A and B are shown apart, each in its own frame.
Chain A
Amino acid sequence: MASARDQLDRMSYRLIVMGACVLFLAVVLVKVFPTPAPEDPGASHGDGWAFLHAFEVLGVISFLASILHSVRNHGARHTYLLFPALFLYAFIFEDVNIQLSGVYEYNESAWMIVHNTMLVIPLGWCAIVYCMLELTSRVPGFSKMKAFNAAFIIATLALTIDLGIDATAFAYGFWTWNEGWFFGVPLMNYVGWFIVVFLFIMGLKLVEGKDRDTLGEFGWMYSVVIGALIAQIFLFVIFLGILYLAGVV
C-alpha cells in the first residue's frame, strides 16, 4: 500500500502537469489574441493614484495580518525566524534586480519607497509565501514530501496569483516594464516569480529537521536566504551564458 508521502509525490506530478498545461494554454492564447500594452503606462487615471495607495495600505495590512496569524498558530519563535528572513530575501532580490536588470521600475508616486523598491512588494512577498506555506502545511504528509516537489508546488501556486495581477498592475501603472510579452509583461517576470519562491522554499525544506546546534535557528534561516540569493545569481549567470551563446547579447 502506497504511503501518504508517495501518494502526495504522485499527486505533485499531476499538479506539475496541470501547471505546464496552464502555461502552455497561456502561451497559445497570447499568440492567438492581440495583447496590447497600455498607451501611456506612466499616466494617472484621474484618481490621483488612489488604487496605488490603497494597494500599499492593504499590502501592509496583509503583512501584519500574516504575522498575527503566524504568531497565533505557529508561535512567536517561528514568526521571528521566518518573516525577517523572508522580508530580507524579497527586498534584496527586488532591489538588486531593479538595479541590475533595469527592465522595470516602480511608480515614483508610491508613498513607501525604500531605495528603488516599493516597500509593499517585499511585504506582499512575505504574505504570499506565508499563505502558501500555511495552506500546504494543512495537507497531511506535506512536510515529508521531497523538497523539490514541495518547492515546485508552492512556487506554482504562487505563480497562479501573479498570472492575473501583473498585467493589470502594469496597465494601471503600479510599475512599468520596458518591454513586454503578455499584456506588456515580460516572460522573465513570471519565470522570476517562480524561481524566487522555488529557491526559498527549496532551501527551507532542505534545512528542515536538520541538526541546528552549530548555526542555531537564526543561522539556518539566514543560510537559506544567502543560499537562495547565491543560487539566483548562479541561475542568472547561466541564463546570460545561454543568451551569449545564442548570440542575443
Chain B
Amino acid sequence: MRIMKMFDEHWPHLFIVGVHIYFLAVAVFIERYDLLLIGIAAFMISVLMIGYFTGPHCSGGRVKNHDGDERP
C-alpha cells in the first residue's frame, strides 16, 4: 500500500518535524513569541543537521531506502 510505503520511508522525518511543529503551536498558544523564534531556530538547526548528515552530501551521494537499496 502506498500509505504504508510512505510511512516506512518517512516516519522518522515525520516524527521529528511533528515534534517541532507541536511545540511551535504551544508557543503561539501561550503567546510566547520569543520561544516561537527559538523554536523556529531549533527546527532549522535540527533539519539542517539531520539533512546534512543523512543526505547525499555526507554519504558520498548514496542514500539507502528503508529496504536497503541504495538510491542516488
Which A residues are within 8 Å of any B CB, using their own CB? 4, 7-8, 11, 15, 18-19, 22, 36, 45, 47, 51, 54-55, 58, 62, 65-66, 68-69, 72-73, 127-128, 130-132, 134-141, 153, 156-157, 160-161, 163-165, 167-169, 171-172, 183
Main secondary structure of the interface of B (DSSP, over half): helix
Q: Is the CB of B66 within 8 A of A165?
A: no
Q: Which residues on the A side are within 8 Å of B50 (C-beta)?
A: 135, 157, 160
Sort A-B residue pairs by CB-CB distance and give the 4 closest, nearest first: A164-B42, A131-B12, A160-B46, A163-B42
Given contact pairs A65-B15, A72-B4, A160 touches B49 in the complex (Cβ within 8 A) = yes
Binary interface profile of B, 41-68, with partner A (CB < 8 Å = 1, else 0)?
Answer: 1110110011011100011101111110
Select A168's contact among B8, B26, B64, beta carbons within 8 Å: B26
> Nearest residue in B to A131 (C-beta to C-beta)?
B12
Distance of A249 Cα from B14 Cα, bound (Å): 44
Select B12's contact among A8, A36, A135, A163, beta carbons within 8 Å: A135
Q: Which residues on the B side are within 8 Å of A62 (C-beta)?
A: 15, 18
Q: Which residues on the B side are within 8 Å of A36 (C-beta)?
A: 34
Q: Is the CB of A136 within 8 A of B54?
A: yes
Q: Is the CB of B42 within 8 A of A160?
A: yes
Q: Is the CB of A168 within 8 A of B16?
A: no
Select B59's contact among A66, A130, A134, A139, beta carbons within 8 Å: A139
CB distance from B33 to the nearest CB of A (A): 11
Q: Is the CB of A161 within 8 A of B20?
A: yes
Q: Is the CB of B62 within 8 A of A140?
A: yes
Distance of A72 Cα from B9 Cα, bound (Å): 11
What would 11 more interface pairs be, CB under 8 Å, given A136-B54, A161-B16? A55-B22, A72-B8, A138-B65, A139-B53, A140-B60, A140-B63, A157-B50, A164-B46, A167-B35, A168-B27, A172-B26
Q: Which residues on the A side are within 8 Å of B60 (C-beta)?
A: 4, 7, 140
Distance of A28 Cα from B24 Cα, bound (Å): 23
Select B38's contact among A11, A58, A72, A167, beta carbons within 8 Å: A167
Q: Which residues on the B side are within 8 Å of A183 (C-beta)?
A: 34-35, 38
Distance of A72 Cα from B70 Cα, bound (Å): 19
Distance of A72 Cα from B1 Cα, bound (Å): 13
Distance of A8 Cα from B70 Cα, bound (Å): 16
Distance of A168 Cα from B38 Cα, bound (Å): 9
Select A65's contact among B11, B20, B27, beta carbons within 8 Å: B11
16 contacts between A and B (CB under 8 A): A8-B59, A15-B49, A15-B58, A47-B29, A51-B25, A54-B22, A62-B18, A73-B66, A131-B11, A138-B63, A139-B54, A139-B59, A153-B53, A160-B42, A168-B30, A169-B23
Given contact pairs A69-B7, A141-B59, A165 touches B45 in the complex (Cβ within 8 A) = no
Q: Is the CB of B19 within 8 A of A171?
A: no
Given contact pairs A4-B60, A15-B53, A160-B46, A131 touches B22 in the complex (Cβ within 8 A) = no
